[in-house]
């Protein structure tokens, strides 16, 4: 029997109403927010790559566009300028950008006392042997501050060394040629120097912990991005949290990702990752350490203007929201 027009209309209305009720109980599909992530050529950035490979960005509605830079200063400049949105690096690297009021510190993703190594020629037997020598540093990064700590340990002025600013990939050949007698840099560059030149020619003279430095590897974002897209900021941090949890539970897989994303041997990737304690949160020592570095930078006239208001620069509301997300 055919259904009448009025009955058919009533039936369709009821079906539509039922469909709307069912849809109301379902989560709405969320479009993916594009976020530009800056990373360096270093396994410490492995969680950012894991978040991409294992689908954690997608899980939280983020489409990450990852750009790899040669070092911390370059990626920090890109994030400050707004060419990228979010990244991570040591506090001294961020400070000249933070002082301009264009950055927000979102939390700490890793800490280490051994992340930086001093590679030195074999003739350098003690730190005292470095007095009056040319030494390599990555200008504008935490390595400048590390050389200050070496001088302090020797009870000498910073001018006791002749600092030569060199980009990370050029540090190894510069030391091998004898252009400098030593360099301080984040791994894997010191280990690479010993591997390439041979341990009879180059050795690891010290680590950052030996001169009293705890690296706080902090996550920072462009302030305009955070203010314009607070929800996306939270979701990126949630993806990073998931990636760090995965990395800590699957170390062998993390080593593979770190090696492939940085074109390293798995052994080197595993070595570097083993230097850090990865945990997304807020290191209680970070603000105190940052203020000490800031005072040194101002003493060197590398920072101008008023002291950084860390209570405003460090904004943990996004981290707290991310940690509460499933």
Structural domain contains residue 13: no
Q: Is the same domain home to 301 and 251?
A: yes
> Last residue of some domain: 185, 211, 237?
211
Q: Is the same domain home to 126 and 90?
A: no
Give the chain's domain count. Answer: 2
Q: In the prediction, which pLDDT does 296 show? A: 86
Strand 116-121 to strand 202-207: parallel, antiparallel, or no bridges (unpaired)? antiparallel
Asked if 66 and 52 touch (Cβ cutoff 8 Å), the reply is yes
Q: In the prediction, which pLDDT does 7 show? A: 46
Asked if 143 and 170 touch (Cβ cutoff 8 Å), the reply is no
Q: Is the same domain home to 195 and 252?
A: no
Q: In the prediction, which pLDDT does 12 show? A: 43
Structural domain contains residue 27: no
DSSP states along 191-250: HHHHHHH-TTTEEEEEEGGGGT--EEEEEEEEHHHHHH-HHHHHHHHHHHHHHHHHHHH-
Q: Is the same domain home to 207 and 220?
A: no
Token duo for residue 256? 């593979």
Q: Is the same domain home to 105 and 230?
A: yes
Q: In the prediction, which pLDDT does 299 show? A: 85
Q: Is the same domain home to 172 and 291?
A: no
Question: pTM for this one?
Answer: 0.80
Q: Is the same domain home to 205 and 256?
A: no
Q: In the prediction, which pLDDT does 254 show? A: 98
What CATH number is associated with residue 230? 3.40.190.10
Question: In a structure prediction context, what are the per-residue pLDDT tens digits for the chain, which is 326 residues long?
Answer: 344 444 444 444 454 444 444 434 333 335 789 999 999 999 999 999 999 999 999 999 999 999 999 888 899 999 999 999 999 998 888 888 998 889 999 999 999 999 999 999 999 999 999 999 999 999 877 899 999 999 999 999 999 999 999 998 899 999 999 999 999 999 989 999 999 999 999 999 999 999 999 899 999 999 999 999 999 999 999 999 999 999 999 999 999 999 999 999 999 999 999 999 999 998 778 888 888 888 988 888 888 878 899 888 999 999 999 999 98
The DSSP output letter for 314 is: B
Structural domain contains residue 28: no
Token duo for residue 257? 């990702």
Q: In the prediction, which pLDDT does 30 show? A: 54
Asked if 116 and 185 touch (Cβ cutoff 8 Å), the reply is yes
Q: Is the same domain home to 219 and 108?
A: yes
Structural domain contains residue 163: yes
Token duo for residue 176? 């091998």
Structural domain contains residue 5: no
Q: Is the same domain home to 161 and 229?
A: no
Structural domain contains residue 26: no
Structural domain contains residue 251: yes
- In this structure, the number of other CB atoms found within 10 A of the CB of residue 131 comes to 11
Structural domain contains residue 3: no
Q: Is the same domain home to 139 and 268?
A: no
Cα dihedral sign for 242, 246, 248, 253?
negative
Q: Is the same domain home to 146 and 202?
A: yes
Asked if 272 and 75 touch (Cβ cutoff 8 Å), the reply is no
The DSSP output letter for 276 is: -
> Last residue of some domain: 189, 211, 233?
211
Asked if 164 and 190 touch (Cβ cutoff 8 Å), the reply is no
Range(s) of the domain holding residue 255 = 33-113+214-324
Q: Is the same domain home to 78 and 199?
A: no
> Last residue of some domain: 211, 226, 260?
211
């Amino acid at each position: 029997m055919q259904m009448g027009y009025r009955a058919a209309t009533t039936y369709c209305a009821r079906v539509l109403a039922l469909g709307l009720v069912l849809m109301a109980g379902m989560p709405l599909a969320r479009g993916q927010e594009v976020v530009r992530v800056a990373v360096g050529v270093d396994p410490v950035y492995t969680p950012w790559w894991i978040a991409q490979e294992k689908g954690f960005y997608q899980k939280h509605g983020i489409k990450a566009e990852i750009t790899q830079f040669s070092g911390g200063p370059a990626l920090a400049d890109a994030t400050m300028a707004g060419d990228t949105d979010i990244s991570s690096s040591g506090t001294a690297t961020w400070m000249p950008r933070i002082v301009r009021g264009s950055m927000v510190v979102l939390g700490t993703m890793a800490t280490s006392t051994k992340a930086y190594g001093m590679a030195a020629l074999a003739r350098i037997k003690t730190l005292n042997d470095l007095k009056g020598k040319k030494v390599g540093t990555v200008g504008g990064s935490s390595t400048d501050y590390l050389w200050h700590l070496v001088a302090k340990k020797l009870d000498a002025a910073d001018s006791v060394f002749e600092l030569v600013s060199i980009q990370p990939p050029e540090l190894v050949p510069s030391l091998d040629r004898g252009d400098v007698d030593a360099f301080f840099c984040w791994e894997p560059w010191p280990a690479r120097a010993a591997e390439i030149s041979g341990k009879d020619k180059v050795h690891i003279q010290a680590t950052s912990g030996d001169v009293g430095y705890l690296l706080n590897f902090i996550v920072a974002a462009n302030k305009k991005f955070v203010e314009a897209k607070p929800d996306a900021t939270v979701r990126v941090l949630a993806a990073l949290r998931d990636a760090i949890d995965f990395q800590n539970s699957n170390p062998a897989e993390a080593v593979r990702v770190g090696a492939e994303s940085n074109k390293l041997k798995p052994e080197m990737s595993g070595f570097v990752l083993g230097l850090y304690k990865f945990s997304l949160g807020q290191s209680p020592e970070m603000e105190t350490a940052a203020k000490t570095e800031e005072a040194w930078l101002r003493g060197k006239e590398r920072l101008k203007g008023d002291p950084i208001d860390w209570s405003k620069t460090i904004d943990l509301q996004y981290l707290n929201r991310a940690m509460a997300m499933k």
